[in-house]
Every structure is written in C-alpha cells, then in structure tokens.
C-alpha cells in the first residue's frame, strides 16, 4: 500500500512538472499589470489549467482545454454594454485581448454552455484574479452574490475615480489610451510603393485552431506593404479583436499568393510553408476577417466550415 501511494504521488508530481514545462504554457505579459490596478481578493486560486486563445462577443473568453474550445463568461462582475466611444470599454477590450496566449486556471461556477467562471492568471510567478484586475481598474462593477468578494476592489476604483467611476471619460489612465492607440496604428508606408489588391482566397485550420493558414491572392500586381488583416468581433463587426500589419511588404504578381501562418505557439517547428507569422488564433467554428488596404478601403470576409468539402468557405460580404 505504501509503495502504491508513493507511485501515485510520483505520478502526480511528474504530471505537474510536465504541465509546467509544456510549450503551450505562456505566462501572461507583465504589461497587463502596468496600466491596471489590483485589490487582492480573499480567495485561493483553483480550477483547471487552460490556454486563453481569444475573445467572444467582446468580453467573453475563448479557452483551449485539452484540445477542446470552450467559451467562458466572466463570473462575479457586471460589465457595462460595449461602447466604442467610451474609454473604459476600449480599455477593457484591450486588457482582455492582452491575455490571449496566457496560461490560466479556470474556476468554473456553472457547467452550462457557455460556462461562467473565475479566471486566475499567472504573471511573473504571481497569480492574479482577472475579475479583480477589471473591477479594481474601474472597468466593471462587482455583483452582490458572487462567490468571490470583489466589493473592496469596487470601493477602491470608486474612491480613486477610475474607469466608469471617473468624473470625465478621459481621466481613466491615459497610458492605456496611448498604448491602445499605438497598437492600432499601421506602419508608415513609402508613398512610392505600388500596392497590390489583396483578397482572402483560402483559409485552413488545423488541430482545432492550434494552427491556421490565411491565403491571400493578388488581384492586381504590387506590394502587400501597408495592408492589414484583422479578426472581427462576431457581435460587433465594427470592432477588430486582433490586427496583423504587413510591416514589410512582399511583391506579388497577379494571382500570386501570400500565406500567413496563425498560431499562438511559435516555438514549435511546423512543416507549413508561409510568408508571414501572426501570433493569434482563428476560431475553427467560423468567424469574420477584415482586409484593409493602405488607401483605407476594406473588405469584410466571412469564413465558415462546410462539411461537404471538409474545409472552410470564404465569402466576401462587401
């Protein structure tokens, strides 16, 4: 019996050690805490490990657990309706987007789909409750019957006049607004460059979204410099959840293809041929992508899985 218990303990240790070394485990960026506030809750981190791979309907998280995708609603907080004109809405969306690629512990409260949960994020050997970061920064309010007490975080944000508690919308951490604006600024383009006309011709998604290929075709000869591709919110098509800029251009002849590999795990060696790498995630259940030309013109594409061809159909919507 003693030997059996020792083997069991050793197995648990090895499993924990392997998880800690997994190349899919990516600690959250320390920059998440730079422009935010945090009141530590009286709670112990718990839950199962998962990788945050995207956002859904702006403020819900998409996680990858044991190869399966799952949508998670943030438990214990009430988020004001998204409004692009409000700085706190944009700051919260920016904060949630910055967690993509982060390893977290998901403390489920409900088993329904989508499930609600508390989300604990690891940052430089410390564990933080995502909901408390959000409430402490004035980006949402706490609910009275939550399993984890967040009223102290709300009181702090209110006292400091942060986010939704600010007297003026622009008084929220100016650094957040500056960083958010810089993120969405395209690189400066050489005016002498002749631009290609690029459209999405094909999308391939492998291993439930672990890897994806976006294939662009040139309808007119020129360079890809100055172009951008964005993952568009399913709930508000005016919102870009993530953006890839062609910082360096590639010359393309008519009908020539440009391929972008999309993955959150660039450490692994892949056999796919591609021209550019985008550290992001494409939802294998379908979604929207936007292609913007340097001139400002844009085309919205919808991609959806078709069982008849066992692949994705890409449709321009404008």
Domains, the chain, in order of start with CATH, read 24-183 (2.40.50.90), 197-316 (2.60.40)
Residue 113 per-residue DSSP state: S
Tens digits of residue pLDDT in 120-139:
998 877 889 999 999 999 99
Examine the pLDDT at 250 and tell me if it is beyond 80.
Answer: no
Residue 146 half-sphere exposure toward CB, CA atoms < 13 A: 25
Count of Cβ atoms closer than 10 Å to residue 191 Cβ: 7
Between the alpha carbon of residue 284 and those of residues 68, 69, 294, the distances in Å are 11, 9, 28
Q: How confident is the model at residue 180 (pLDDT cuts 50, 70, 90)?
A: very low
3-state SS, residue 290:
strand
pLDDT higher than threshold 80 for residue 159: yes
Beta bridge pairs of residue 108: 117
Read off the pLDDT of each residue in 2-7 and give the average, rounded to a whole number.
39
How far is the CA of 146 from the CAs of 43, 60, 112, 115, 142, in angstroms? 12, 17, 17, 15, 8
Chain segment 251-271, per-residue pLDDT in tens: 778 888 889 999 877 666 577
């Amino acid at each position: 019996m003693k030997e059996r218990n020792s083997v069991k303990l050793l197995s648990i240790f090895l499993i924990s050690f392997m998880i800690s070394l997994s190349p899919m485990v990516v600690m959250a960026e320390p920059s998440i805490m730079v422009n935010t506030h945090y009141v530590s809750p009286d709670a112990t981190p718990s839950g199962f490990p998962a990788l945050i791979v995207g956002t859904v309907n702006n403020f819900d998280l998409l996680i990858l657990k044991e190869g399966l995708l799952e949508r998670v609603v943030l438990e214990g907080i009430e988020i004001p309706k998204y409004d692009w004109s409000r700085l706190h809405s944009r700051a919260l969306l920016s904060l949630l987007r910055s967690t993509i690629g982060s390893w977290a512990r998901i403390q489920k409260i409900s088993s329904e789909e989508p499930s609600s949960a508390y989300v604990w994020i690891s940052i430089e050997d410390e564990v933080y409750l995502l909901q408390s970061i959000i409430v402490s920064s004035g980006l949402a309010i706490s609910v009275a019957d939550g399993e984890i007490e967040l009223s102290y975080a709300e009181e702090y944000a209110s006292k400091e006049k942060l986010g939704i508690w600010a007297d003026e919308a622009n008084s929220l951490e100016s650094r957040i607004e500056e960083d958010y604006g810089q993120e969405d600024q395209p690189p400066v383009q050489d005016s002498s460059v002749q631009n290609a006309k690029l459209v999405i011709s094909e999308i391939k998604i492998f291993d439930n979204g672990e890897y994806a290929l976006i294939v662009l075709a040139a309808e007119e000869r020129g360079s890809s410099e100055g172009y951008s591709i964005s993952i568009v919110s399913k709930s508000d098509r005016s919102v870009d959840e993530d953006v890839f800029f062609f910082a360096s251009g590639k010359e393309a002849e008519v009908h020539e293809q440009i391929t972008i590999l999309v993955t959150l795990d660039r450490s692994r060696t892949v056999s796919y041929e591609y021209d550019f790498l985008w550290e992001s995630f494409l939802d294998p259940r379908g979604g929207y992508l936007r292609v913007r030309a340097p001139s400002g013109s844009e085309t919205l594409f919808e991609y959806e899985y078709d069982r008849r061809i066992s692949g994705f159909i890409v449709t321009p919507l404008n």
